[in-house]
Structure 1
């Protein structure tokens, strides 16, 4: 039984498959034929025939209160996940495995796909590095439905002189990458990580609108957000997303004002930015009043090199 998420060998096979598709002249998706919204009965993972959650609201609510962001590096988070399950009542034998997964207090949001926008092109790259996960999260070599694993699609934009054109082809590539990652998501949640300038917001908004159409109704769409978007900017409120994760670290704009708000109120003013929160281990101290229903935690180092014991009490103060 495998306990690794996306082994490099698998990634090499995927790259070869992509190359073969390009060589055979696979056409781009026409602008007027975006993927139709899939029926609710469509599979959310490659290994199961029926969705584990009937709605995206249920899928999102089932995520643990602490999610570890795992970026592109070899890592092993099993020590963080050991003994992290909530105490839960016994369930029917047929749903015992699902109940155990639902009892997890810690999950992972793992970089699954990177889309590089450069000039007028868009290059898709799958995860290259292995991630060690608990073997009990697997069944028959695949992640079980309801396993608290959220795939991330990260958009990387080239800088001058190769700033992206933000054209139709690039939009379609991102939407397809999000839809593909969602099919690999055992949690039925997919996260988009896209940092844009003010002038690029319409492009991101259109990508999100199209992604929601392309995703099945029972798959939740989560996005990361700059802290400044959650202070005075209301543009996120109209986007069809199920979760906004404001990143209260490496902030830009009026950082002092944002910090004062978090210190005084313990949360961002915009209501869509309040249920979830993103913090980084390397930016301390965190405001004492900070509270969140779900905390996403960033670590510049590998999680395998970060002892959980030194953080458990501090993290517990932020969680329900």
Structure 2
């Protein structure tokens, strides 16, 4: 049988209980310090700017002057930067902040074509340059004064639209989708109809309002004639009505006389906002609307602001 070798005898070891506890305490203390340092070294999460809590707040935050931008390549930076309020410290900050803007843009986001019984949706294809200060890391900042527009086109003659249920749903879905791309939480429906088509438009507006979040405002454009003696707009759940006081055809003189006399249209729902065009002059001598939308048949990038600054300054000093 193999025998066990003889090893030198060792002195008995002292109990390590106290040493072990002290070592554990030191390790725990060091670990907690390390964790604390690690947590402090983490980059702070970027805070998302709060959204407007109500559609009334979103609408009231829009600047007093809005530029309509159609489906064309455009650059509105010269107009936007030139209109900024010179607030405190403006000399030290050449790039105006969103809060300093006196001008915003309402940009064509989606076009819906109604033809026969169908409805086709086309998103904006042309680029638009906006002030760099309006952008965050992942796109436009929340609350940037940009309104998205859904424009409805209707085929004529042999392809006159049926104005059916499918077409209603397509328009409402387009409005809801455009609202998700609106940093201002305001979406605008641009839809001109004949008298016999008013019930269709009214139902589209009601359904759109029901489908939109409660804190998103719904703006609609309106023929100027709808704002003189015609009360049907009062029943629509639109948060803003923008009467287009240009391209008024046969009623132009009568409607312009109304504006020249009072500075706004008589229907209450049509009074807070007004749409004018650069190519139809002179404008009414006095304007009492709180917000003005401007239409330009040409690109804003090709329209020098210098020629309009005095006129616009007289309206919104």
Query: Mapping of 1:163-312 within 5 angstroms?
Result: 163-312=160-309
1:87 deviates by: 4.1
The alpha-carbon distance between structure 1 residues 51 and 191, as it changes in their structure 2 partners (threshold 3 A), is farther
1:264 deviates by: 1.2
Counterpart residue number, 1:69: 68
Unaligned runs of 5+ residues in structure 1 are 1-47, 91-98
Query: Mapping of 1:91-170 within 5 angstroms?
Result: 100-170=97-167
Q: Are 1:79 and 2:81 an aligned pair?
A: no
Secondary structure of 2:142 counterpart: coil
Is contact 1:66–1:294 with CA below 8 Å preserved after alignment? Answer: yes
Q: Distance in 1 between matches of 2:152 and 2:302?
A: 27
Secondary structure of 1:161 counterpart: helix
Report the structure, 1 or 2, having the larger helix content.
Answer: 2
Q: Distance in 2 between matches of 1:115 and 1:253?
A: 27
Q: Distance in 2 between matches of 1:241 and 1:201?
A: 14
RMSD between superposed Cα atoms in Å: 1.8
TM-score computed with the length of structure 2 as normaliser: 0.81
The structure having more radius of gyration, on CA atoms, is 2
Unaligned runs of 5+ residues in structure 2 are 1-46, 90-95
1:52 deviates by: 1.4
Is contact 2:220–2:242 with CA below 8 Å preserved after alignment? Answer: yes
Counterpart residue number, 2:59: 60
Q: Distance in 1 between matches of 2:53 and 2:257?
A: 41
Q: Distance in 2 between matches of 1:239 and 1:319?
A: 29
Is contact 1:119–1:165 with CA below 8 Å preserved after alignment? Answer: yes
Which gives a bigger RCO, structure 1 or 2 (Cα 8 Å, sep 6+)?
Answer: 1
Q: Deviations over 1:166-219 (max 9, x none)?
A: 000000000000000001110000000001000000000000000000000000
Is contact 1:228–1:252 with CA below 8 Å preserved after alignment? Answer: no
Counterpart residue number, 2:4: none
Secondary structure of 1:311 counterpart: helix
1:163 deviates by: 0.4
Counterpart residue number, 1:313: 310
1:89 deviates by: 5.9
Secondary structure of 1:301 counterpart: coil
How many aligned positions are there? 266
Is contact 1:292–1:319 with CA below 8 Å preserved after alignment? Answer: no
Secondary structure of 1:254 counterpart: helix
Secondary structure of 1:200 counterpart: helix
Q: Distance in 2 between matches of 1:51 and 1:122?
A: 36
Q: Distance in 2 between matches of 1:132 and 1:257?
A: 38
Secondary structure of 2:111 counterpart: strand
Is contact 2:66–2:291 with CA below 8 Å preserved after alignment? Answer: yes
1:257 deviates by: 1.6
